[in-house]
Structure 1
Amino acid sequence: MYQRIKANTPEFLMFDIQEVEETEHMIFAADYILVWPRHCKCTLHLGTSHYDLKPGQLVLLAPFNPFRIVLGPLEDGAEHGCDELHFRLNALGQTFVDSVQFSNIKKMLDQSRSGMLFDIPANSEIYTFLKMLENTFEFSQVLNLLSLLDKLSHVQPTTTFLADNFEIKNSQRIEERVQIALKYIANNLAEPLSVSIVADQLHMAESTFSRFFHANMGITFRQYIIEQRVRQAARYLVITDWSIAHIGAEVGFSSLSNFNSKFKCLLKLTPKEYRSSHIDMRKNIGQHRSIEGQLQNQLMNTNNNYPYMS
């Protein structure tokens, strides 16, 4: 028997299916989303527009299309009315995504940037695969997902929702949200910082924010926080006479041992060794750009696996 895991968790690298829950704010999901009104009518708010949906219809949305759903009354005897299937391509591998066999699905997903509405007949095999999808780790679920997408890619969409110019506005909004997160991190580096805390600033679920951050920054949230703290600590080691313990606490490390460990992992020197080897930089303390430039070069040279350092 395979372990059953709650949907929308990092364990599901390929997909998860979950019941729709109404939210006050727009959702910027980092996944493709297939909305399935099962036993109720609902209203999809997409960008600045809204659309009425009913059972027998499916909506496909690309990552980071801002949306929220308002549910209508349930049909008699139904336990819940609408499901969301979240799925992502990175778990499949780029070679598979670029294969000829995947081309129809990829074309459909590319077109989903504007949002696509499908009217699906009641006897369609698409519903068969939707009903078989469960949040388990059985390999058959991967096959169910791929079969579902293949069948859907051969259906002509009834309509697309958004004009092309919305994509530009959407991209700008994504950039704004990234900057909000980075600014909050920079302003609260000395404070406890977690995915939950920063996700709340953007009104995102934790798992959604984690994928959003990684997709847009090319680095995990945790690694970004570590790098920024080490970066700020390196500045303080050069431009202040503070003790190493004080600097570690000032940039948010929970203990001196943790500070030493993370600092050495990134810069290949302990904080004490770094201060000693850069003592000559103190002659140019008034020249902030000189210090910043040397620090940038060292961080880049010793951490090629995480090239984004701002």
Structure 2
Amino acid sequence: MYQKIIANTPKFLMFDLQPLSENKHFIFGADYILIRPKQNGCILHLSSTQIPLVVGQLVLLAPFYPFKVSIDNNKVSVGDVLHFRLNALGQTFIDSIQFSNIKNMLDHAKQGLLFESEWLEPLFEIMDNIENTFDFKQLLNILMLLDQLTKTSPSQILETHQLAFSTTKRTENRVDNVLQYIATNLAEPLTVTIVAQQLHMAESTFSRFFHTHLGVTFRQYLIEQRVKQAARYLVSTDWSIAHIGAEVGFSSLSNFNEKFKTLLQVTPRAYRANHVALRENIGNSPSIQGQLQKQFHQWQA
């Protein structure tokens, strides 16, 4: 009998550090995963393999790689799980010579890599300093962590008999393509029909595909992206509220006001007024993108 597999795409831009805890079903996510056990007693389940994890190890898994974790003795958490994705870095940077060693390592993570060496201690120190904040130093920590990991050879390839996900790479590309299409066409009257045509899918197939891999409906995702972009414009431009609403694809000012307030619990006008200080110091302020993402997390909690 096949194990149930659940799509999982956490809402973050670059990375998210979470406690290593037990999950009942296989997780099939769109992120790279770095698992660090801090206590013995947890087992990593892959498609046909079970790997007991112990202190001093690191496991690197590629996107769309089904896994789950079981923990002995009902422990709540026995370590850390670092989810990270590359899209926020930009394709030019990912394809650069400077990033080539990291990219090569990540390409080899499709079968799962286990690292176990005394040379991992500096990496653990970096992980201990990673926080879920939007400070630029956190991005540097992630890059430093990956760079250091390329200097350590994996002690084991975890899964030589993976589940037959022959379409994994194509699926990953399709997700990237549809998100990029939405991002560059927010001002257009996007519909399921229009976007499904970009992937040459039937509407019903596309709707299932989108919800499976993004964890939300197409309409919900589209509204969230439009509101986020509108919030950036409210802080960074002098455009009128009506112009911003139209610029991000809302059909009317009333619809824009309604959707914005539903998601951010404040009207566009009040949001702009509340962020005057951020706008006045925009050259020295933390990323608007990061601040906005933090607010979404707070209001969705």
Q: CA deviation at 1:114?
A: 0.5
What secondary structure does 1:171 align onto?
coil
Contact 1:41 1:55 in 2 (8 A): no
What do the CA deviations read for 1:116-148 (whole angstroms, capped 9, x no partner)?
Answer: 000032772101111001101111100000000
TM-aligned CA distance change 1:174 to 1:28, over 3 Å: farther
**Is structure 2 residue 188 aligned with structure 1 residue 170?**
no
Letter of the 1:55 partner, please give it. Answer: V
Cα distance 1:261–1:88, how it changes in 2: closer, same or farther (>3 A)? same
TM-score by length of 2: 0.54
Aligned residue for 1:136, secondary structure, equals coil
1:72 aligns with 72
Paired with 1:101 and 1:175, the residues of 2 have a C-alpha distance of: 26
Percent identical: 41
Secondary structure of residue in 2 paired with 1:162: coil
Structure 1 residues 26 and 9, CA, compared in 2 at 3 Å: closer, same or farther?
Answer: closer
- In the alignment, structure 1 residue 21 sits paired with structure 2 residue 39: no
Q: TM-score, normalised by structure 1?
A: 0.53
**Number of corresponding residues:** 192
- 1:135 maps to which of 126, 132, 145: 132
CA distance, structure 1, for counterparts of residue 221 and residue 76 of structure 2: 42
Per-residue deviation at 1:152?
Answer: 0.4
Say whether residues 1:149 and 2:146 are aligned partners: yes
The Cα of 1:72 is off from its aligned counterpart by 2.6
Q: Deviations over 1:176-216 (max 9, x none)?
A: 9x9xxx999839x8xxx9x8xx55xxxxxxxxx417xxxxx
Which one has the largest radius of gyration?
Answer: 1
CA distance in 2, matches of 1:82, 1:131: 11
Partner of 1:186: 204
Equivalences for residues 9-158 of structure 1 within 5 A: 12-73=12-73, 80-121=77-118, 124-158=121-155
Q: Is the 8 A contact 1:129 1:144 kept in 2?
A: yes
Task: Please state how far the C-alpha of 1:49 moved relative to its aligned partner.
Answer: 1.4
Shift of the alpha carbon at 1:172?
4.8
Q: Residues 60 and 185 of structure 1: is their aligned pair in 2 closer, same or farther, counting only changes over 3 Å?
A: same
Q: Distance in 1 between matches of 2:67 and 2:96?
A: 31
C-alpha deviation, 1:82, in angstroms: 1.9
Give me the whole-angstrom Cα distance separating, in 2, the residues matched to 1:28 and 1:15.
17
Structure 2 runs not aligned, ≥5 long: 1-7, 175-195, 223-249, 253-301
Answer whether contact 1:62 1:113 (CA < 8 A) is retained: yes
* CA-based RMSD: 3.9
Report SS of the residue matched to 1:33. Answer: strand
Corresponding letter in the other structure for 1:112: A
Is the alpha carbon distance of 1:156 and 1:122 closer, same or farther for their aligned partners in structure 2, counting shifts above 3 Å? closer
Conserved? CA contact 2:38–2:55, under 8 Å:
yes
Q: Distance in 1 between matches of 2:156 and 2:167?
A: 25
